[in-house]
Chain A
Amino acid sequence: MSDSGQKGDILLDIKGLKIQGFSDEKWHDIVNGVDLTLRRGEVMGLIGESGAGKSTLGLAAMGYTQPGCKITAGEIIFDGVDLAKLSDAEKRKFWGNRMTYVAQSAAASFNPAHRLIAQTTASTIRAGLKDRSEAYSDARILYDALNLPDPEHIGDRYPHQVSGGQLQRVMTAMAMSPRPNLIVFDEPTTALDVTTQVEVLSSMRKIVEEFNTAAIYITHDLAVVAQMSDFIKVLRYGYEVEEAPTRQMLSTPKESYTKSLWSVRALEKKEQEIGQSILSLKGIDAAYGVSKVLFDVDIEVPKGSTVAVVGESGSGKSTTARVITGLLPQTAGSVHFDGTELPPALADRSKDQKRRIQMIYQMADTAMNPRQTVRDIIGRPLEFYLDLRGKAKNDRILELLEMIELDGRFLERLPSELSGGQKQRICIARALAANPDFVICDEVTSALDQIVQEGILKLLLRLQKELGLTYLFITHDISTVKAISDQVVVMNEGKVVEQGQKTEVFQPPHPGYTELLLSSVPEMDPDWLTNLNAKCADLKG
């Protein structure tokens, strides 16, 4: 460490910070006069929805603004120096030396052209803190401390040669290499699977404690922030909503906005009785080219219910959806829908068979043609499947918009003129336009903020009740499963691990993988990670 401050001294003091960003040919306020005080060795959680200004504030804590943004007022005093007044060349002496950054997507944030260890140590060597061989051996020690496999040699690899979770830990090692006073973690585990997330969180917390580093931890996941931080600051529209020590914030939030953030996780659907199956998959195998991805998958979906398919990325959830829709014909097994067997390939299915099964996608952005208006997007299935034209079509579009709690004002808008939640609602309306019996929802809420998620989930539940829809709900998020499902299918490596009523699946004892998956989901209890690690240590010991 390049200075000798004591734990508890003020390290970072931001006063009245205002930041503006340039878009649509105007300057907008992103951060509106926020104060922030961080002491040495403290971890602050910064939470809020997208657009709350939390990433901008996190970067500003390092004196950095993204291209197209500018600091218009306020001070950023880091260890006695106002970063807002320094030139880029002067700030560079702090960056990668006394303050470092851990980005959301490790895969995109490593330069594909250089070896990991060279990237891990670059800033330490540049700052002259250590020479090359010292920095390299220190990096190997950090890799070991972060539980990376083969710490001696993993640094010789290129970014594409290691997994996402490993990369995220290498990035933490990179942030730690110069032994900074401050690390800014910007949603570092959002892109990871839950089981990987637990490991990464544990290693991050361990290393921050070990070297007594102050950190700002930015996330929208409350349970994660509960594990990592000493105190939490809630942001909204660039303003501070409230700030309090973690335990107090979790148990007794003051502001209604904070309370609403907390309550989202409480949504839970009352389980339905099992009815007759509308869809059944029997012995499905499927492959992309030569690599087989589904192995003997059996799934029963009772009519009028929601079956949640959970699993990590690569478990075969989305492939199952592709088989059901006919986009990927299975290599073995059969799909029965409402009593008849569906032809494997989409081209062999009748128009009515196609109409009855509709799909909603994760990325509403890319699932809509950016050049079509809402009217065209919803109107197209009405014409195609139901042969509606003119006034009949128009009336039906308005009816559908009402169903998804929007109205006629949206008819002529393009997808780019809608918010994330509105986009997903239009996608839902498009699926409903075909009057389907069965809707596949592929991670439809995972790209959305928690409050928006809640709105979409409530909408889906209401539509199910009103229209008697059956959902196959693909997700990796356990709280979403609790909110919407009647039945749960757990998948791992292309196989169904467990299947049953929600209460049964969530009730211990679980088969091995379900146990791992469920125990990895962070809970709002600040002691959860500590307890989990202790439990694992007991098992190993």
Chain B
Amino acid sequence: MHAVFRTVLERLGLGLATLFIVSIIIFSAIEMLPGDFGEAVLGQAATKETVAAFRRELGLDEPAYMRYAQWIGNVVQGDLGTSFSGRNASGIDRSRPVVDLIAPRLWNTLFLASMTAIIAVPIALALGITSALYRNSIYDRTVNTATLTTISFPEFFVAYILILLLASLWPVFPSLANVDAATPLAERMFKAALPAMTLTLVIVAHMMRMTRAAIINLLASPYIQMARLSGASQTEVIIKHALPNAWAPIATVITFNLAYLVVGVVVVEVVFVYPGVGQLMVDAVTSRDIPVVQGCALIFAMTYILLNLTADIIGIITNPRLLHPK
């Protein structure tokens, strides 16, 4: 057990190192964006002096490495800086801390992601296992075709079809998912139903096919034939003999899709007017609100790293070779 614990700590350390490198990349990438924030906000009419004064006020005139050091120093203390927007030429400052901007949006995103995951992962696993069990049957083919069909359509198309069917023709769910902090849980779930369904349709295929493939891949192993020859039924063979050895690849593809739910759902957010982080980041990029863009990017990177770490850990604890060394 000790060895596994050490491996996990090692991976965590590596994750932190990766995050640090990613922070440099994020910062440099934004540094390389063309155009100037001062000019973008103050407009073409602003004089050179006004722009310079504005840049000085935001600290944009300092060298890049100084700004990076300051930013990363604050980030470590939990401060993502102050948003650039809300300021204007008249000098009134209504800008808000980035953390305050991101936090409620992130909560919304995580809520939608969890809700989708709770629906999608069990469905994907169940479909994957059963289609492996009834391989090449009509059931298997139907499931494969259906999931492939849903993944083949663009997200917005699936979203609009669902709106047409479940909000317009048969009005079961609302087509707008405009939640806020005050929305009670039940209503939140009700409003998020269509976005969650859309995302489920989008991610189930990938997870289901990987589960099926991972299990079928193992069915050719000699120990599976051995299990059959010792009288195990097909269900027992799959659940008891194939599945325990298939968790690592399955966990990898599940976490990959969960990461997608956090960082890649901006289209669905736009369609359903759902106030998530994706939309916030896109808006921030348009308005050159650098601290917000950096904050979002860093959170996305962290999500990826944490989820991949989880997949690694699942891979380790389900592998007896690593869990029980010689």
Do A and B belong to a common assembly? yes
Residues in chain A within 8 A of chain B (CB atoms): 59, 62, 64, 66, 89, 92-97, 100-101, 103, 105, 108-114, 122-123, 126-127, 157-158, 160-161, 174
* Closest chain A residue to B321, Cβ basis: A160
* 6 A-B pairs (CB sep. < 8 Å): A66-B225, A103-B222, A103-B226, A111-B227, A112-B223, A112-B319
What would 13 more interface pairs be, CB under 8 Å, given A96-B229, A160-B321, A160-B326? Answer: A66-B225, A92-B232, A93-B231, A94-B231, A96-B232, A101-B226, A110-B223, A111-B244, A111-B245, A123-B232, A126-B230, A157-B324, A161-B324
B226 and A112 form a contact (CB under 8 A): no
A216, chain B: closest CB distance, angstroms: 13
| Neighbouring B residues of A113 by C-beta, 8 Å | 241, 244-245, 318, 320
Binding site for A on B (CB under 8 A): 221-223, 225-233, 241, 244-245, 318-321, 324, 326
Residues of A contacting B233 with CB < 8 Å? 89, 92
CB-based contact B230/A64 at 8 Å:
no
Assess the A95–B230 pair: CB atoms within 8 A: yes
Q: Are A109 and B231 in contact (CB under 8 A)?
A: no
Shortest distance between the CB of A154 and any CB in chain B (Å): 13
Find chain A residues with CB under 8 A from B229 CB. Answer: 59, 62, 64, 95-96, 100-101
Assembled-state Cα–Cα distance A94/B229 (Å): 9
Which of B225, B228, B231, B321 contacts A112 (CB under 8 A)? B321
Within the complex, what minimum Cβ distance (angstroms) separates B322 from chain A? 10
Chain A residues whose CB sits within 8 angstroms of the CB of B231 once the complex forms: 92-97, 123, 126-127
Q: Are A109 and B245 in contact (CB under 8 A)?
A: no
Q: Which residues from B are CB-within-8-Å of A94?
A: 231
Task: Write the chain B residue with the least CB distance to A99.
Answer: B229
Residue with the highest number of chain B CB atoms closer than 10 Å, among A59, A62, A89, A108: A108
Contact residues of B: prevailing secondary structure:
helix
Complex CA–CA separation, A188 to B287 (angstroms) = 72
Report A-chain residues with C-beta under 8 Å of the C-beta of B223: 108-112
B220 to A: closest C-beta gap in Å: 9
B57 to chain A minimum Cβ distance, whole angstroms, is 58
Alpha-carbon gap, A97 to B221, bound state (A): 22
Residue numbers in B under 8 Å from A96 (CB-CB)? 229-232
A95–B233 CA distance with the chains assembled, in angstroms: 11
Nearest residue (CB) in B for A124 is B230
Task: Give CA–CA (A380, B228) in the complex, Å.
Answer: 47
CA separation between A66 and B324, bound complex, in Å?
A: 33
In the complex, how many angstroms separate the beta carbon of A135 from the nearest chain B beta carbon?
Answer: 13
Is the pair A111, B241 in contact by a Cβ cutoff of 8 Å?
yes
With A95-B230, A96-B231, A127-B231 already in contact, the answer to whether A108 and B324 are too (CB < 8 A) is no
Which residue of B is nearest A64, CB measured? Answer: B229
A100 to B231, CA, bound (A): 9
Complex Cα gap A126–B326 (Å): 30
Contact present for A108 and B228 (CB under 8 Å): no
Question: A267 to B324, alpha carbons, bound, how many Å?
Answer: 48
Q: For the complex, what is the distance from the CA of A71 to the CA of B159, rounded to whole Å?
A: 52
Query: What separation, in Å, do the CA atoms of A458 and B192 have in the docked complex?
Result: 77
Q: Give the complex CA separation of A113 and B246 in angstroms.
A: 10
- A95, A127, A157: the one contacting B228 at CB < 8 Å is A95
What distance in Å separates the Cβ of B235 from its nearest Cβ neighbour in chain A? Answer: 12
B326 and A161: CB pair below 8 A? yes
CB distance from A103 to the nearest CB of B (A): 6
Q: How far is the CB of B1 from chain A (nearest CB, A)?
A: 14
Shortest Cβ distance from B229 into A: residue: A101
In-complex Cβ contact of A105 among B222, B228, B318 (8 A)? B222
Decide: A122 and B324 in contact? CB cutoff 8 A.
no
Nearest residue in A to B244 (C-beta to C-beta)?
A113
Closest Cβ of chain B: how far from A117's Cβ, in Å?
14
Q: How far is the CB of A66 from chain B (nearest CB, A)?
A: 7
Cα–Cα distance between A206 and B223 once the two chains are bound (Å): 26
Once the chains bind, are B230 and A112 in contact (CB under 8 Å)? no
Chain B residue nearest in CB terms to A177: B230
Chain B residues with Cβ below 8 Å from A112 are 223, 245, 319-321
Q: Give min CB distance, A528 to chain B, whole Å.
A: 30
Q: How far is the CA of A112 from the CA of B318 in the complex (A)?
A: 10
Provide the bound-state CA to CA distance between A178 and B245, in Å.
Answer: 26
Q: Inside 8 A of A126's CB, which chain B residues have their CB?
A: 230-232
Q: Are B326 and A109 in contact (CB under 8 A)?
A: no
Of B319, B320, B321, B324, most A-chain CB atoms within 10 Å: B320
Chain B residues with CB under 8 Å of A158's CB are 320-321, 324
Task: Report the minimum CB–CB distance from B283 to chain A (whole Å).
Answer: 48
Contact B230 A108, beta carbon cutoff 8 Å: no
Cα–Cα distance between A110 and B221 once the two chains are bound (Å): 10
Q: A104's closest neighbor in chain B, by CB?
A: B222
Q: How far is the CA of A94 from the CA of B221 in the complex (A)?
A: 22
Among the interface residues A59, A97, A111, A112, which one has the most CB atoms of the partner chain B within 10 A? Answer: A111
Provide the residues of chain B in CB contact with A105, threshold 8 Å.
222
With a cutoff of 8 Å between Cβ atoms, the chain A residues found around residue B221 in the complex are 108
Bound CA–CA A113/B223 (angstroms): 11
CB of A119 to closest CB in B, whole Å? 9
CA of A126 to CA of B230, assembled, Å: 9
B218 to nearest A CB, angstroms? 10
Give the contacting residue for A123; candidates B222, B230, B244, B320; CB below 8 A: B230
Task: Provide the bound-state CA to CA distance between A161 and B322, in Å.
Answer: 11
Docked complex Cα distance between A95 and B225 (Å)? 12
Q: Which residues of A contact B227 (CB under 8 A)?
A: 111
* A38 vs B323: C-alpha distance when bound (angstroms): 45
Most buried by A among B228, B233, B319: B228
**B171 CB to nearest A CB, Å:** 49
Given contacts A111-B245, A113-B244, is CB(A64)–CB(B228) below 8 Å?
yes
* Ranked 7 nearest A-B pairs via Cβ: A96-B230, A96-B231, A113-B244, A123-B230, A95-B231, A108-B222, A101-B229
Q: Provide the residues of chain A in CB contact with B225, threshold 8 Å.
A: 66, 103, 109
